[in-house]
Amino acid sequence: MNNAYIEFWGTFDSPVVYEAIIRDFEAQHQGAKIVYRQFPYEEYEQKLLNSLAAGTGPDLYMIHNTWLPKHGDKLKPLPEKIDDLKEPLLTVQNLKRDYVDVVFNDFVYSNQIYALPLYVDTLALYYNKDLFNTAGITGPPQTWEEFNRDVELLTKLNSAGDILQSGAAMGTARNINRSTDILQALMIQSGVPMTNADKTQAIFERSAQSLDIGERTLQFFTDFANPATRVYAWNDRLHYSVDSFIEGSLAMMLNYSHQADIIKSKNSRLNFAIAPMPQASLTDIKNFANYWGVGVANKSQNSDLAWQFAAYLTSKEGATQYLNNTGRPSARRDLIDLQRSDDEVGVFAVQSLTAKSWYQVDNVAIEKIFADMIEDIYYRRSSIKEALRNAETKVNVLMQK
């Protein structure tokens, strides 16, 4: 092989994560040189778009699991055949066999693979064991009915109605980490169709008006921040949810796997555990996917080699190193059992099997629309029905662009 330079861009992972994987790949591909660059998350997407538009972008880059509708035109799908290789790098059938189901939904379009996952994360339940013990609760809730019951037992108010101890961080938008993901997870669990079958329209308000499941789900979420309800446990005056949990004044929060290390680094004495996300139905488990994969730029001069590195990075060998270095939950089925019994990542690894996502044309814009919807109800600017309809209309404006 002639000398071939591959520039690889990402956001959350430091260069040290990839050092050994790159070294192993370069040893197997004489003349290959892989250089990884990390960018702050706040700048990453815009820097990437500017560089790709200018023709100075990377060969390989991380994409969010919702980005294919938004950025698929900038990606080169995995070729069926690569010169010098007897076998295809990966087929759609192999992808379905080797990776959890959500990967096919997010990264395959028109039977072509546009990206490969580094991991798959989901929301799970973080709970304060000391607060559970004090309240006489023997274990974490499995269903939302049990969750509501526990919230009532765990929330403590003073005589003026101020929250001294919160049962759960639910109901507001801006002071709950990943609040809009929690709401989307509840909608998916409840069976709210987020879009129509051909993914041309959002239908989460109109979908089943006879059932009003979209409205009932939004009501369920926002009730936790309504002082008139039995489950009142949160408001916009409380500390940010992760901080409240670290301080020990919050009993339960829903969050992703990386929060465990943050919590331990800030309060090593906090007696907490992680349990599966509560479910609407224990016979039809659904979890909310949030993860990143790697894709190849359609303007890359070395796209075949970039795809070979992407395939190695996400192979059993490469992924094992990556997951060991990052502590993230596996996207590969053959590595989930190795993580299953881990105290921290095990719950997330198993949940990836039931991870779901939905077709988002712009995840950042939709996050703001959902946050505004929650706040419209919290500040009584809109009824549940109006807020949901306004959000659906705004998402449809995005989809028609």
Across 230-310, where does the E strand assignment appear? 252-255, 272-275, 287-290, 292-296
**115-160 pLDDT tens trace:** 999 999 999 999 999 999 999 999 999 999 999 999 999 999 999 9
Tokens of 146: 């049990």
Q: Check if the beta carbon of residue 215 is closer than 8 Å to that of residue 221.
A: no
Q: What is the pLDDT of residue 207?
A: 61
**263-284 pLDDT tens trace:** 999 999 999 999 999 999 999 9
Q: What is the pLDDT of residue 2?
A: 57
Residue 1: pLDDT above 70?
A: no
Q: Among 72, 95, 81, which Cα is nearest to 298's?
A: 72
Q: Among 250, 254, 319, 316, which Cα is nearest to 290's?
A: 254
Number of Cβ within 10 Å of residue 54's Cβ equals: 8
Please give the CATH topology (third level) of the domain spanning 122-288+361-400: D-Maltodextrin-Binding Protein; domain 2 (3.40.190)
66 pLDDT band, cuts 50/70/90, is very high
- Amino acid identity for residue 179 in this structure: S
Number of Cβ within 10 Å of residue 80's Cβ equals: 9
**329-349 pLDDT tens trace:** 999 999 999 999 998 899 999
Q: What is the pLDDT of residue 84?
A: 84
- Amino acid identity for residue 52 in this structure: L
**Four-point Cα dihedral 17, 353, 335, 360, nearest 10:** -30
Please return the burial class of 138, using the count of CB atoms within 10 Å of its CB with bins 0-12, 13-18 and 19+.
Answer: exposed
**156-209 pLDDT tens trace:** 999 999 999 999 999 999 999 999 999 999 999 999 999 999 999 999 987 655
85 pLDDT band, cuts 50/70/90, is confident
Residue 350: pLDDT above 70?
A: yes
Contacts of 324 (CB under 8 A, 6+ apart): none
Q: Among 216, 100, 123, which Cα is nearest to 169's?
A: 123
**276-311 pLDDT tens trace:** 999 999 999 999 999 999 999 999 999 999 999 999
Mean pLDDT score across all residues of the chain: 96
Q: What is the pLDDT of residue 206?
A: 76
Q: Check if the beta carbon of residue 137 is closer than 8 Å to that of residue 90.
A: no
Tokens of 70: 């938004």
Q: What is the pLDDT of residue 210?
A: 53
Q: Within the chain, which residue ranges are assigned CATH 3.40.190.10?
A: 4-120+291-356, 122-288+361-400
Q: What is the pLDDT of residue 330?
A: 98
Q: Check if the beta carbon of residue 315 is closer than 8 Å to that of residue 180.
A: no
17 pLDDT band, cuts 50/70/90, is very high
**Four-point Cα dihedral 32, 38, 41, 44, nearest 10:** -60
Q: What is the pLDDT of residue 209?
A: 52
**239-268 pLDDT tens trace:** 999 999 999 999 999 999 999 999 999 999
Q: What is the pLDDT of residue 83?
A: 84
The angle at the Cα of 54, spanning 303 to 62, to the nearest 5 degrees, equals: 50
Tokens of 302: 């070395």
* CATH of 4-120+291-356 given 3.40.190.10, 3.40.50.1460, 2.40.10.120, 3.30.230.30: 3.40.190.10
Tokens of 263: 């919590």
Sign, Cα dihedral of 38, 43, 49, 55: negative
Number of Cβ within 10 Å of residue 228's Cβ equals: 6
